[in-house]
Structure formats: C-alpha cells, structure tokens
C-alpha cells in the first residue's frame, strides 16, 4: 500500500525538506495502519524514490492515488482510517 501511494506521486530532483506526516497520509488513503518502516521499505524498493523518511524526493503537490491501486490488496480498507481522509492534503488526483 505504501509502495502504491509513493508510486502515484510526482518526483522531483532532490529530497523535499518540508516535513510531512507521510505515514499518516498513506494510512488515511489505504484505510489501515501503516508503519513508518512500511513507508521506508517501500521507498527503498522504489526505483525513483530517494532520500530518508520523511524527506523523499516527492513533489510538494501531492497526488491522491486512484483507489484502483488498492484492488487485490486484501488488507486495504479494512480499518477506519479512510474515514479520516483529508482531500485538502492533495493538490492533484490520479485518474
């Protein structure tokens, strides 16, 4: 789930220095608990992501990933985190 969220983001050249609670943002989209380690491992696995948590090379203009990215992930949307999704967190939406 963390990998899918990161994969939907636009990438910039250098790590962003602005703090963002990525773990919490991803949890709200995925609809379940995500650990900081989950995010760190997903970033390490992703070929386009560099930096260290929470300062990855993500654009400041966050993209809300398509819910289709959660299809086939059995644990997605199994907890109440999605109820706390804040649309204003995102500037763009993935089609």
Q: What is the pLDDT of residue 16?
A: 87
Q: What is the pLDDT of residue 18?
A: 86
Q: What is the pLDDT of residue 41?
A: 98
Number of domains in the chain: 1
The number of angstroms, rounded, from the C-alpha of 10 to the middle of its chain's C-alpha atoms is 11
Question: Using alpha carbons only, how large is the chain's radius of gyration in Å?
Answer: 12
Query: What is the model's pTM?
Result: 0.96
Q: How confident is the prediction along the chain (95 residues), in pLDDT tens digits per residue?
A: 999 999 999 999 999 888 899 999 999 999 999 999 999 999 999 999 999 999 999 999 999 999 999 999 999 999 999 999 999 999 999 99
63 has which bridge partners?
Answer: 92
Q: What is the pLDDT of residue 35?
A: 98
CB atoms closer than 10 angstroms to residue 18: 9
Q: What is the pLDDT of residue 60?
A: 93
User: What is the domain extent for residue 87?
Assistant: 2-93
């Amino acid at each position: 789930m963390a990998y899918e969220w990161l994969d939907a983001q636009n990438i910039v050249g250098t790590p962003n220095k602005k703090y963002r609670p990525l773990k919490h943002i991803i949890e709200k989209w995925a609809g379940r608990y995500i650990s900081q380690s989950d995010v760190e491992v997903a970033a390490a696995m992703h070929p386009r992501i560099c930096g260290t948590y929470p300062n990855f090379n993500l654009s400041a203009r966050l993209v809300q990933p398509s819910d289709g990215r959660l299809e086939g992930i059995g644990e997605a949307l199994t907890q109440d985190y999605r109820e706390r999704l804040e649309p204003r967190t995102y500037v763009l939406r993935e089609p």
